[in-house]
Amino acid sequence: MTNAADKIIVALDVATKEKALELVDQLRDQISFFKIGLQLYTAEGPEIVRAVLSAGAKVWLDLKLYDIPNTVARAVESAGHLGVHMLTIHLSGGSEMVQAATAARPNNMLLLGVTVLTSATEETLREIGVASKVDDQVLRLARLGVEAGIDGVVASPHEIEKLRAEFASRIKIVVQGIRPTWAEPGDQKRFTTPRQAIEAGADYIGIGRPITAHPQPSEVVAKILQELS
CB–CB of 36/52 below 8 Å? yes
Catalytic residues: 64
| Interior/surface letters 171-196, b for 16+ CB within 10 angstroms, e for the rest | bbbbbbbbbeeebeeeebbbbbbbbb
Question: Are residues 139 and 118 in contact, defined by beta-carbon separation less than 8 angstroms?
Answer: no
Angle at 110 between CA 173 and CA 48, to 5 degrees: 110
d(CA 59, CA 61): 6
3-state SS assignment for residue 62: strand
Would you say how long the chain is, in residues? 229
Partner residues linked to 155 by β-bridges:
175
Q: What is the dihedral of CA 82, 76, 149, 165, to 10 degrees?
A: 70
C-beta of residue 52 within 8 angstroms of C-beta of residue 12: yes
DSSP 8-state code for residue 16: -
Helix axis angle, 17-27 to 217-228, nearest 10°: 50
Task: Evaluate whether 64 touches 90 at the Cβ level (below 8 Å).
Answer: yes
